[in-house]
């Protein structure tokens, strides 16, 4: 569950007309902070980012999945999906707690950013 401040920041970005990815960036930032503080771990930086994007989608931010074009709809995605069972979410939390904290280090984030930038086409 994202913190109130994160949702407020994302809504503010939406009001300002920022891109969905910018709105989702707040959720990713929060997730990185969670890993850093030791709330849970992540196997890789990419996993931490994916968790943040997933939370953003649940909160109603229309973040396109890789290689797809975002389609506009009246109902949010979260209202159509069933929430996962208690057993499953508990298992996920336990698994994340076993993972390391290095995924959110400055070095790992820098490496991930450079790698992603390299993969993008030149402007």
Q: List pLDDT tens digits, range 92-114.
A: 999 999 999 999 999 999 999 99
Are the CB atoms for 61 and 6 separated by under 8 Å? Answer: no
Measured between alpha carbons, how far apart are the two ends of the chain, in Å?
36
pTM of the model: 0.78
Short-list 28, 77, 64, 68, CA closest to 48: 28
- Element housing 98 (H / E): helix 86-98
Highest-confidence range of 78-87, 103-112, 114-123, by mean pLDDT?
A: 103-112
Query: Residues 27-61: pLDDT tens digits?
Result: 999 999 999 999 999 999 999 999 999 999 999 99
């Amino acid at each position: 569950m994202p913190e109130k401040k994160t949702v407020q920041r994302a809504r503010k970005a939406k009001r300002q007309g920022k891109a969905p990815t910018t709105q989702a960036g707040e959720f990713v930032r929060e997730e990185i902070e969670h890993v850093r503080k030791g709330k849970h771990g992540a196997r890789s930086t990419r996993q931490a980012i994916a968790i943040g994007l997933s939370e953003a989608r649940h909160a109603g931010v229309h973040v396109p999945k890789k290689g797809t074009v975002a389609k506009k709809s009246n109902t949010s995605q979260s209202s159509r999906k069933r929430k996962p069972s208690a057993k499953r979410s508990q298992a996920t939390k336990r698994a994340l707690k076993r993972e390391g904290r290095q995924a959110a280090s400055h070095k790992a984030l820098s490496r991930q950013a450079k790698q992603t930038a390299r993969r993008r086409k030149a402007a």
